[in-house]
Amino acid sequence: MRAVRRHGALLRLTVDGNTVEAVEGDSLLAVLLLNGKAVRHLEFGGAPRAGFCLMGACQDCWVLLGNGERVRACTTLAANGMVIWTDRHEAKANA
């Protein structure tokens, strides 16, 4: 996560088909939350969810990378050019 404004290399990533910016050292969860994205939605009712434990234990922040790899958003650092999908159905449709 990011508690304060960071200074570092500017990164460009694609989240659910949209280009977003991040700063080197940001977690994927920070990137998602700073860009107004939910990590997932509840199966019942569709309420948005974000990370819960912020340390990789709760398994609530899984996302898919463009290469199909499944990672925890809270413990994975953003990288320039990374493609992230928060919805597995969208990821499959755009593979």
pLDDT by residue (tens digit) across 33-44? 998 887 777 778
Q: What is the pTM of this model?
A: 0.82
In the chain, where are the structural domains located? 10-93
Most confident of 23-27, 49-53, 55-59, 85-89: 23-27
Kindly list the strands in the beta sheet with 10-15, ordered across the sheet, starting from the edge strand earlier in the chain.
18-23, 10-15, 83-85, 62-65, 70-72
pLDDT by residue (tens digit) across 10-29? 999 999 999 999 999 999 99
Who's near 67: CB < 8 A, 6+ residues apart? Answer: 83
Six-digit token string for 32: 């998602």
In the chain the first and final C-alpha atoms are separated, in Å, by 28
Q: Are 51 and 44 in contact (CB under 8 A)?
A: no
Q: Which fold has domain 10-93?
A: Ubiquitin-like (UB roll) (3.10.20)
